[in-house]
Copies of this chain bind each other. A is one copy, B any other.
Amino acid sequence: MKVCRIAYFNSAHRLYNPEWSDEKNNEVFGKCNNPNYHGHNYKIEVWIEGSVNQETGYLIDLKILKQIIKDEITDAFDHKNLNLDCPEFKNLIPTLENICIVCWNKLSKALDSSLNLSVKIWETENNLAEYSGE
């Protein structure tokens, strides 16, 4: 059994590898390398796998999961510049893939270890990523 809670955060970011020349950054990251940043509405789906508690009929109380997502993800990234404001991306390029891994790591620490976690993030209407910890 799996349950999922969805949330949103709106952030600025820039894709840039400091070890590369400007030319190589432009070649690889194109307009995502704009030094003045651009931004997205990120949609996050947090999937939890586990078993249902017979007394409550809940796998996990989704109100609690909502609060964990707020504490770990929304409060950390919403209305932030991922490159400048968020220590998680100090030495990590905030690509969709790396944002997905960072969110998985933060949520994984906050959840009971008996639960399997999977995180799906939408960067635009047409681009998304999914990470399950391996």
Where the two chains meet, the residues of A that have a C-beta atom closer than 8 Å to any C-beta of B are 1-8, 10-13, 15, 17, 19, 28, 30-32, 34, 36-41, 47, 52, 55-59, 61-63, 78-81, 84-85, 92-98, 100-101, 124-131
Contact = CB atoms under 8 A, between A and B. Distances in A.
Q: Chain A contact residues: over half helix, strand or loop, or mixed?
A: mixed
Given A36-B84, A40-B41, A41-B125, 7 more contacts: A3-B129, A4-B128, A10-B124, A13-B39, A37-B39, A38-B39, A57-B92
Nearest to A84: B36
A126 to B, nearest CB: 4
A12 B5 CA distance: 21
A31 B78 contact: yes
